[in-house]
Amino acid sequence: MERLRACPHCDALYQIAPVAPRERAICTRCGAVLIAPRARAFSRIIALAVTALILMAAAIFMPFLDLSASGMHSRASVLDAVLAFSDGMMLPLSVAVGALIVVIPALRLSLIVYTLAPMMRGGPALPRAAQAFRLADALKPWAMAEIFLIGVAVALVKVAGIATVTPGPAFWAFCGLVVVTVLHDDVMDAESVWQAIERRETARRSAADAAASRA
């Protein structure tokens, strides 16, 4: 059973064979990519995740947009957008916006770094690395930074006719964040990560059993 894998899209069952870097294991029923290992994938994933976290910090605290209309000037950040609905009955909406565009993406990237950083140099996985990566994988559909950017683009088209809109540094940081996140998810191969965690856990248990037998 340990060598069997189900396609995440159509549930076709396969016996996993070794797959070399730059090769792909593809489902013959639906065409979904099952395994796509890449050389030095862990270092690339970590580098992209750390870059995304830095861009996210910049996008949160730096000015996002400058609006000018009828002699009035206003500057807003992502944090201002999150707190805009924080009064009264709209508080749950503010919490949801903050969670979906800031907290969940940052948590997911942090969990991936926690899982992969020790294994990048061949070291053992940290405690509960499997649970951390499982949570990161489960949070992926809820990380909606790119949806927020699309919403901002739509709003800018509507506002452009009545006000002068100047994108701030946080806007470009957020654009970079979306691009880096797409690259990060493209490099990520969940099956290779699970196999690495499995190997480290098996080696750790073998070492613990050997130490116990010698004692």
Domain ranges of the chain: 1-37, 38-213
Q: How far apart are CA 123 and CA 111, in angstroms?
A: 17
Amino acid occupying residue 84: A
CA angle centred on 166, ends 163 and 171, rounded to 5°: 130
Q: What is the dihedral of CA 52, 53, 57, 58, to 10 degrees?
A: -30
Q: Identify the segments of the chain with pLDDT beneath 50.
A: none
DSSP, res 2? T
CA angle centred on 173, ends 172 and 176, rounded to 5°: 90
What confidence score (pLDDT) does residue 171 get? 87
What confidence score (pLDDT) does residue 2 get? 60
Q: Which CATH architecture has domain 38-213?
A: Up-down Bundle (1.20)
> Tokens 């540094």 appear where?
169
> Tokens 């995440």 appear where?
8
What confidence score (pLDDT) does residue 35 get? 76
What confidence score (pLDDT) does residue 215 get? 62
What confidence score (pLDDT) does residue 146 get? 80
What confidence score (pLDDT) does residue 27 get? 85
**What does each C-alpha distance from 188 to 33, 34, 199 come to in angstroms?**
12, 12, 18
Are the beta carbons of 28 and 13 closer than 8 angstroms?
Answer: no
